[in-house]
Structure 1
Amino acid sequence: MNGARRNLLAVDIGGSFTDVVLQASGRRFTAKALTTPHAPEEGVMAGIAEILAQASLGAGEVSLFILGTTLATNALIERKGARTALLATEGFRDVLEIGHENRYAQYDIAQDKPPPLVPRFLRFGVPERVNVRGEVLLPLDEDAVRALIPQLRSHNVESVAVAFLHSYANPAHEVRVRELLAAELPGVCVTLSSDVCPEVREYERTSTACANAYVQPVVAGYLGRLRERLAAAGLGCPFYLMTSGGAITTVESGAAEPIKLVESGPAGGAILAAQVAKQCGVHKALSFDMGGTTAKICFIDDYEPELSRTFEVGRMYRFMKGSGIPVRIPVIEMVEIGAGGGSIARVDAMGRVQVGPESAVSDPGPACFGRGGARATVTDADCLSGLLDAQRFASGKVRLRPAMGEEAIARDVGDALGVSAIEGATAIQEVVAENMANAARVHAAELGKTVEDYTMIAFGGAAPLHAAQLAAKLGIARVIVPVAASVGSALGFLWAPVAWQSLRSLHQRLDAFDGASVDRLLQQMEAQARDAVVRAAGGDVPLQRKRIAYMRYVGQGHEIAVELPEGSFAQDATGELRRRFEASYIALYGRVIPHLVVEAMSWSVTVGTLQDDLAAATMPQGAGPARAASHRQVFDTTVSQWVDAGVYDRASLEPGAAVAGPALVAEDQTTTVVPLAFVARVNSLGHLVVEREGEAA
C-alpha cells in the first residue's frame, strides 16, 4: 500500500504508548502519545492531531488511515467482553472445558485452567448432526433453536457463537441458525465457527468462535466510535485495520471477525523487519520489538516472517503452551514475553530478581515518570544507568525524574539484595535481557533454527536500548536499528499488503488422492480471496497468490505447511507433493520417515496486492568518524563501572558516518546503545548498523 496513496497515516495502540506515523509528500513524520486505556480513541486522536500539526497538513488531505489495536486482546485477557452464549451440537456444549484433556504443567497439582469465556449456563445443545463428509445425519431442529430465544433474551445475551460438529464440511445448519437468530434478536451479534475457523479440530474451532463472539460487540462499538471521531475531525479517507497475519483489511471485515486483530501491532513490526531485511540484503533476520509492556521476537527467512495458524490468548502461565485460550487464525509466528520498559522488578522470597510480566503501562507508568508509579521498572533502571535523556524522553512529553526511579530501585531491589541502587539497576537490566535471550533460544529450538546465524533488527521504544546486550547473549554479530525505530510497528502497517487468506479442511491421503476435488476447492477459495481483496482495495489491482497445504504423516497429530506448486492437481501430482512435504519436514526435523503414507488435512489460498520494489541499502565509504554532540556518564554492565560515552544526534549523522562505543545515538523517541568495542555505521537509507568492531564492514 505504501506507493498507492500520497498521504498515508498509521496508528498502533500499544500498552504504554500510541505510535503514529505519517508519510506525506515524500516526508515521514512520527509521534507518540500516552495510551488511554479507558478510551483508546482519545490517545489516537491526540496523536493524530499532533502529527498533522507537525506536517502542516489538514485532516481532509489524508488519503489513507491504517490502525492496529490491542482492544480485542485486552478484552480477552481482562475478561471485559460481551455477555456471550454458545450453541453447540447437542451433547457437545462442554467442549470448552474438556479441551484436550491434557495438563500443560504435568507435575503442578494446583495448576489453573483459564475459565471458559462462556459459562455453562449460557451454553446450549441443539439437535443436529453432520458427518465428516458434510452429509446430514440429523436435520437441524429449528423449533429447538426458536425455543432458546427467550432464554437468550432473559439472560441479556449480547453475542452468540454457533459451533456445530463438522460445520467446516457443511455450514448449512450454522447458516440457518444465524437466520433464525437475526429474525428474533436483531441487535445480537452472531459468530459462526464455519466463518471464522472452517477447519477440523472441534475444540480450537469452538474456542475461536467463542473468542470472536466475546469481543465482537466491544470491537465493533469502539471502531464505530473512532470512525465518528475521525469523521468529526475531517478524516473521511478510507479506513483499514491491520490483521494478525500481516495484512490489512477493511473495518467491516475487522468488526465482523475481530479475533483476527489480536496480534495486529506485533504483526506490523514483523512486516517492517522483513522490509528492512530485504533492503539490507539480510536473508536471515531476527525481529526484536520491545515497547513499554512486552517484547516480541520473530524469525524472518528470505524476507518472509514465520507464519502460524494457532495462537493462545491470556495464558495462566505466560511462557507455557496450553495454559491459554486457543484461537485458530492466520498469525505471524512470534514469541511474546512480559519484558518492556514498564515491566515491574521485584525480589522474590528466594532472593532472586524477577522482572515482569506485570507492567506499569502508561498509567501510572514507571516511577521515573512522576505520574504516581512507585514500583521499580526497566525504564527506571535505564534512566538510572544514564541511558535516557530526562528532557528528551518521548519527545519531551514525559519529563523523567531520575531521583524517583533511583528511590524505587533502591527500595524494591537494592535494599532486598544489600547492594547499591545502580547495582540493582544492573541486575534488572541483566535479568530482562536474559529473559528475552532465553525466549529467543527456546523459540529457535522449536523452529529448528540456529539463532547465531541471524542478524537482529531492533525497533520499538525500548529495543535499541537493549539490542546490543541481547545480541551479545545470543551470539548475534550484527544489529540493525531502522529509521523511525521507535514507531516501527506503525511504520510496518504502511508496508503491509491488502490480503485475504481463505482456508478450508479437505482430508486427502496421497495414496488415494482426488486431484479434481482439490482443484475445485482451491479454485473456490481463490475466487473468494480475490473478491475480498478487490473489494478492500477499491478496484482491480495487481495481485499475487500463495497456496499452502497442511500435511503430515498418517497417525501424527500436527501438520506442517507445504507450499503448493502451480498448475492443476487433476493429473497425478502426488510425487511432487510428497517431495515438497519431505523437503519441508527435513528442514524442520532433520529427517523423513520412510514408507509412511502422507496426508493433507487443510488447504489455504492467500491473495494479496503486489508491493512496490524496495531500494537497496549500501554502506557509503569515506564519511569517517562522527563527532559527538555531547558526553554523558553511563554505567557499562560489561565492566560494572561508569564510563564516558559520546552522545550523537541520529538526525545529524550522515550516511557512512561511524560511531565507536561506548556511545549513545539519540533521537526524539528512543536511544541506541553502542557498547564498548562496538561500532555503529549509518547506511545509505539511514538505518543504523551496529557490529563488533573487528567484524564491521
Structure 2
Amino acid sequence: MMGEPKLKLSADVGGTFTDVVLEHGARRWTGKVLTTPSSPEEGVLRGVSEILARAEKAISDVDIFIHGTTLATNAIIERRGAKVALIVTDGFRDVLEIGTESRYDQYELALVRPKPLVERPLRFAVRERMDARGGVRLALNEADVLDVARQLKAEKVESVAIAFMHAYANSAHELAAANLLRSEMADLYITLSSEVCPEVREFERTSTAATNAYVQPLMDGYLARMQDKLNAMGFRGALCLMTSGGGLTSVETARKFPVRLVESGPAGGAVFAAQIAAQLGERKVLAFDMGGTTAKVSLIEDFRSETARVFEVDRAARFLKGSGLPVRIPVIEMVEIGAGGGSLARLDSLKRVTVGPESASSVPGPVCYNGGGSDPAVTDADVALGLIDPASFAGGTIKLYPDLAKAALKKVIGDPLGLEAEMAAYAVYEMVCENMASAARVHAVERGAVASSHTVIAFGGAAPLHVARVAEKIGADRVIVPPNAGVGSAVGFLAAPISYEMVKTKYMRLEGFDAAAATELLRGMSRDIRAWVDPAAQGEPVVERRVAFMRYVGQGHEIAVELPVRDLLATDTPALRARYEADYEKLFRRSIPAAAIEIMAWSVDVSTVSKLPEQVQDVDQHSVAAPGESIRIFDGRAGKAIDVSRYRREKLAVGARLSGPAIIAEEETSTFVTESFDAWIDGLGAIVMERKGMMA
C-alpha cells in the first residue's frame, strides 16, 4: 500500500561542521553549519531551522529525525568527559593499566599508552567473587560498597562504572552494588559491565564500562537538552540515534549506553557508500570519508560493510592495533586518522611537515576563517593552492581569507624551509594525502585485500578535493564522487535500518551442547530487543539474525557462525560443526578434523529490512562539457601556477565529459580532478574519474 512518503530529517555533528539533510520522497535539501562545541544542540537546531525554512516545511511535519554525533569520541580523545570512578573485585584494581600485558610495538623502549579514563585514586576494590559459571564464591561485602559511596561523595564523582569478575555469568553482585550506591547518591550515573558488555575478556569489558561511564553525563545531558528543545519547537515525530554498528536506536538506549555512539557519524558514511555502490554496481569499494576533523577508510564488498565487535579509541600509535582504549561494541570495521580539513600543519623537530591529529575544529577554525586561528590547517593549504573558491565555500555561508592562509603557511612552514607560501601549501596537501593513502593501504592489508583493485568512493566535505591524489598514491584507477558527497554521512543516516544487536557470554562445549539453555538465552535476548525495535519499526517488517561465536578449544579468538532463528535442538550439533568448519576454511583455507569446539558467546540482531537501491543505467553517450570558468591554481609538481577550468556541478549534464586538471565546484564541496584522470557525469549524477587512457 503506497501512502504519502515520510518527511525525514538527519543531522551529523562533526568536529568542525554539522551537516543537515531533509528528505521527502525523491526531493532532498542539504545544508552545513559550523558546529558549536560548547552547546552542540545549538548548531544542530540552527541547521534544522534553516533547512526547514528553505523547504517551506515545519518541524511538526517531520516524521523521523535521525541524529549522529562524534561528541562521545571527541570527549574521549580530548579528555573532556566526567569525573569518573571504577569499582572492581578486590585484587583487580589495576586492570585498566595491566590490560592484556601485550605490547603493540615489541621493540619500542619508550612505549606510550593512552592514559586510562579513570585515575588510580578513583579506582576502588570491594570484596566479592563469582566464578566463571556464575556461582557465588564470596558474597558481596555491603560495608565495602557503602564505604566507597562515602569516598565518591567526598570526591564529587559524577559517574561510576562497576565491573566485577565474571559478572557476565551472574550480574547479581553488580546489581546489588548499584542499588546500594543509588540509596546513598541518587544523582550518580552508574554503568554496569553486565549490561553494557556482558561478555568474557575482563580487560575489554572493564574498559567498555569505564568508557561508557566517562561519556554518559555529557551525552545524557546533551540528548536530554536536544529532546526538550525539539519538543518545544513542536517536533512530534520519532527521534533516533545512529549507532556505530550502522543501525538506529532509541534516545533512551543512547542515553544509557552512549559508548555505542562513538563511531555513529562514520557508520552513516559507510551506509551511504554501500548505497552508492549498489546503485552503480561497484562490488569492490574503498570508502573514503574526509571531513573537517578526521578521515575514515573502510572496505565494502558486495554492497556490505565489514563489521567487528571491538573498536579502539584514542590510539597512541596511529596504525598499530592494541595502542588504543578498547570498547567492545558492534561497529563497522574502519580505520580513522586525524586528517581532516581542520587538521593542523606544523614542522617537527627534524623540520618535516606533519599534519594532525590536532584540529582547529570550528572554533577558532582554520586561519582562513578569520576566527582567531594562527596555525595553518589543511583547508588553508587548499585555499592557498586555489582549489577552493573563497566566495562560495559552504554555499557562501562562510567567507574565506586566502591572504591570511598564505601568511600563516609561510610563517609556520615556508620560512623555516625557505619556501614560498604556495609551495608550503603544496607540502601540506601532499602530506595529508600521503597520510590517508597510508591508512588505506594498511586497512586493506589487514583485511586481506589490495587497495588498488578497489573503486574509491569519496564523501565528506574535504574528501573530493584530495581523493584523486590519494587514488594516484594507492594505484586505484577509478574514483566516484556521488551527489551530496559533502553531507554523505547525514544522507546515510536516512537509509540506515532501525536495529539493535545484543551479545552475551554463555560458555559451552559443542560435544556437550545444551540446546535448551542456548534457546532460553537467545529467546530472552530476542524478547528484550524486540520490545524496542518492533514499536519503533511502525509496522515495517523486521528480520532477526542469530549468531554463535565459536572457536577450537584453546584458541584466542572466535568466528561468527550463523544460527537458525528457531528453538535449537540437540540434533543440531552436527550441522553447527559443519557450519563452523566451512566458515573456518573460508578464513584459513583449512579446518582441524575432529578437534573440540567451544561456544564463547551468542548474538541476536533484530532490524528492519534494509533494501539496497536498484542499479542505475550507465551512460552510453558522452559529450564534451561546455567550457568552464578559467582560474589559476598552484601546481606543486610543476612548481608554478597553471590555468584550469572550474565547472559548476549543477550545470554539467549527464554524460558530460572533461579532462583533468580541473575543478568541479558545488554548494557543499569541490572536486579536484588531477592531471591523471578524465571525468564524466554518470546516470546517477555522480562524478566518475578514470585514469587517462582507460575511457572508451
By the TM > 0.5 criterion, same fold?
yes
Which amino acid in the other structure matches residue 29 of structure 2?
F
Inter-partner Cα distance in structure 2 for 1:460 and 1:583: 39
Inter-partner Cα distance in structure 1 for 2:69 and 2:624: 41
Which residue number in structure 1 is paired with residue 177 of structure 2?
177
How is 1:546-565 mapped onto 2 (pairs within 5 angstroms)? Answer: 546-564=545-563
Which residue number in structure 1 is paired with residue 269 of structure 2?
269
Inter-partner Cα distance in structure 1 for 2:126 and 2:30: 53
Which amino acid in the other structure matches residue 281 of structure 1?
G
Which residue number in structure 2 is paired with residue 213 of structure 1?
213
Cα pair 2:5 2:24 within 8 Å, conserved: no
Q: Report Cα offsets for 1:159-187 as digits up to 9, x if no partner.
A: 22111111111112222222333333221
How is 1:329-478 mapped onto 2 (pairs within 5 angstroms)? Answer: 329-478=329-478
Point out the more displaced range, 685-694 or 202-211.
685-694
Q: CA deviation at 1:245?
A: 0.8
Which amino acid in the other structure matches residue 172 of structure 1?
A
Which residue number in structure 1 is paired with residue 651 of structure 2?
652
Cα pair 1:5 1:63 within 8 Å, conserved: no
SS in structure 2 of the partner of residue 694 of structure 1: coil
Which residue number in structure 2 is paired with residue 498 of structure 1?
498
Inter-partner Cα distance in structure 2 for 1:582 and 1:632: 61
Inter-partner Cα distance in structure 2 for 1:4 and 1:126: 58
How is 1:286-325 mapped onto 2 (pairs within 5 angstroms)? Answer: 286-325=286-325
How is 1:496-575 mapped onto 2 (pairs within 5 angstroms)? Answer: 496-537=496-537, 539-564=538-563, 569-575=568-574
Inter-partner Cα distance in structure 1 for 2:237 and 2:440: 40
Which residue number in structure 2 is paired with residue 252 of structure 1?
252
Task: Report the count of equivalent residues.
Answer: 695
Which residue number in structure 2 is paired with residue 684 of structure 1?
683
Which residue number in structure 1 is paired with residue 609 of structure 2?
610
Cα pair 2:480 2:687 within 8 Å, conserved: yes
Which residue number in structure 2 is paired with residue 200 of structure 1?
200
Which residue number in structure 2 is paired with residue 635 of structure 1?
634
SS in structure 1 of the partner of residue 495 of structure 2: coil
Point out the more displaced range, 309-318 or 32-41.
309-318
Cα pair 2:513 2:570 within 8 Å, conserved: no
Cα pair 2:5 2:25 within 8 Å, conserved: no
Inter-partner Cα distance in structure 1 for 2:295 and 2:475: 19
Cα pair 2:514 2:570 within 8 Å, conserved: no
Point out the more displaced range, 379-388 or 263-272.
379-388
Inter-partner Cα distance in structure 1 for 2:207 and 2:572: 35
Which amino acid in the other structure matches residue 477 of structure 2?
A
Which amino acid in the other structure matches residue 38 of structure 1?
S
Q: CA deviation at 1:595?
A: 6.0
Which amino acid in the other structure matches residue 435 of structure 1?
N
Q: CA deviation at 1:73?
A: 1.5
Q: CA deviation at 1:571?
A: 4.0
Q: CA deviation at 1:358?
A: 1.4
SS in structure 1 of the partner of residue 329 of structure 2: strand
Which amino acid in the other structure matches residue 26 of structure 1?
A
**Unaligned 5+ residue runs, structure 2?**
none
Q: CA deviation at 1:40?
A: 1.0
Q: CA deviation at 1:630?
A: 1.1
In structure 2, the CA distance between the partners of 1:171 and 1:645, relative to structure 1 (3 Å rule), is same
TM-score (norm: length of structure 2): 0.95
Inter-partner Cα distance in structure 2 for 1:263 and 1:346: 28
SS in structure 1 of the partner of residue 108 of structure 2: coil
What stretches of structure 1 move > 6 A for 4+ residues in a row?
A: none
Inter-partner Cα distance in structure 2 for 1:370 and 1:148: 50
Cα pair 1:619 1:655 within 8 Å, conserved: no
**Unaligned 5+ residue runs, structure 1?**
none
Which amino acid in the other structure matches residue 223 of structure 1?
L
SS in structure 2 of the partner of residue 695 of structure 1: coil
Q: CA deviation at 1:670?
A: 0.5
Q: Report Cα offsets for 1:361-415 as digits up to 9, x if no partner.
A: 1112222222222222221221122211110111112222112212222222222
Cα pair 1:3 1:612 within 8 Å, conserved: no
In structure 2, the CA distance between the partners of 1:612 and 1:5, relative to structure 1 (3 Å rule), is farther
In structure 2, the CA distance between the partners of 1:109 and 1:693, relative to structure 1 (3 Å rule), is closer
Inter-partner Cα distance in structure 2 for 1:416 and 1:509: 65
Which amino acid in the other structure matches residue 604 of structure 1?
S
Which residue number in structure 2 is paired with residue 7 of structure 1?
7
Inter-partner Cα distance in structure 2 for 1:414 and 1:58: 51
Inter-partner Cα distance in structure 1 for 2:154 and 2:565: 54
Which amino acid in the other structure matches residue 322 of structure 2?
G
Q: Report Cα offsets for 1:203-223 as digits up to 9, x if no partner.
A: 111111111112111111111
Which residue number in structure 2 is paired with residue 481 of structure 1?
481
In structure 2, the CA distance between the partners of 1:532 and 1:3, relative to structure 1 (3 Å rule), is farther
Q: Report Cα offsets for 1:555-582 as digits up to 9, x if no partner.
A: 2222233334565542444444444444
Q: Report Cα offsets for 1:629-649 as digits up to 9, x if no partner.
A: 312222345555443322221
Q: Report Cα offsets for 1:640-677 as digits up to 9, x if no partner.
A: 54433222211122222222222211101101112224
Q: Report Cα offsets for 1:74-119 as digits up to 9, x if no partner.
A: 2222222222222222222221222222333333333333332222
Which amino acid in the other structure matches residue 500 of structure 1?
Y
Which amino acid in the other structure matches residue 284 of structure 2?
K
SS in structure 2 of the partner of residue 494 of structure 1: helix
Which residue number in structure 1 is paired with residue 621 of structure 2?
622
Which amino acid in the other structure matches residue 226 of structure 1?
M
Inter-partner Cα distance in structure 1 for 2:314 and 2:542: 36
Which residue number in structure 2 is paired with residue 674 of structure 1?
673
Point out the more displaced range, 276-285 or 516-525.
516-525
Inter-partner Cα distance in structure 2 for 1:415 and 1:114: 34
Q: CA deviation at 1:459?
A: 0.1
Inter-partner Cα distance in structure 2 for 1:695 and 1:513: 56
In structure 2, the CA distance between the partners of 1:587 and 1:11, relative to structure 1 (3 Å rule), is same
Inter-partner Cα distance in structure 1 for 2:117 and 2:386: 45
Point out the more displaced range, 200-209 or 525-534.
525-534
Inter-partner Cα distance in structure 1 for 2:3 and 2:363: 37
Q: CA deviation at 1:328?
A: 0.8
In structure 2, the CA distance between the partners of 1:549 and 1:31, relative to structure 1 (3 Å rule), is same
Inter-partner Cα distance in structure 1 for 2:353 and 2:383: 18
Which amino acid in the other structure matches residue 673 of structure 1?
F
In structure 2, the CA distance between the partners of 1:39 and 1:513, relative to structure 1 (3 Å rule), is same
Which amino acid in the other structure matches residue 53 of structure 1?
A
Q: CA deviation at 1:140?
A: 2.5
Identity %: 51
Inter-partner Cα distance in structure 1 for 2:4 and 2:216: 30
Inter-partner Cα distance in structure 1 for 2:590 and 2:173: 43
In structure 2, the CA distance between the partners of 1:571 and 1:681, relative to structure 1 (3 Å rule), is farther
Inter-partner Cα distance in structure 2 for 1:153 and 1:415: 54
Inter-partner Cα distance in structure 2 for 1:449 and 1:597: 31
Cα pair 2:247 2:496 within 8 Å, conserved: yes
Q: CA deviation at 1:268?
A: 0.6
Q: CA deviation at 1:123?
A: 2.3
In structure 2, the CA distance between the partners of 1:115 and 1:618, relative to structure 1 (3 Å rule), is same
Which amino acid in the other structure matches residue 130 of structure 1?
M
Q: CA deviation at 1:685?
A: 2.2
Tell me, yes or no, if structure 1 residue 282 matches structure 2 residue 282: yes
Inter-partner Cα distance in structure 2 for 1:4 and 1:13: 29
Inter-partner Cα distance in structure 2 for 1:177 and 1:130: 14
SS in structure 1 of the partner of residue 379 of structure 2: helix
Inter-partner Cα distance in structure 1 for 2:695 and 2:174: 60
Q: CA deviation at 1:325?
A: 1.8
Cα pair 1:448 1:587 within 8 Å, conserved: no
Inter-partner Cα distance in structure 1 for 2:249 and 2:429: 38
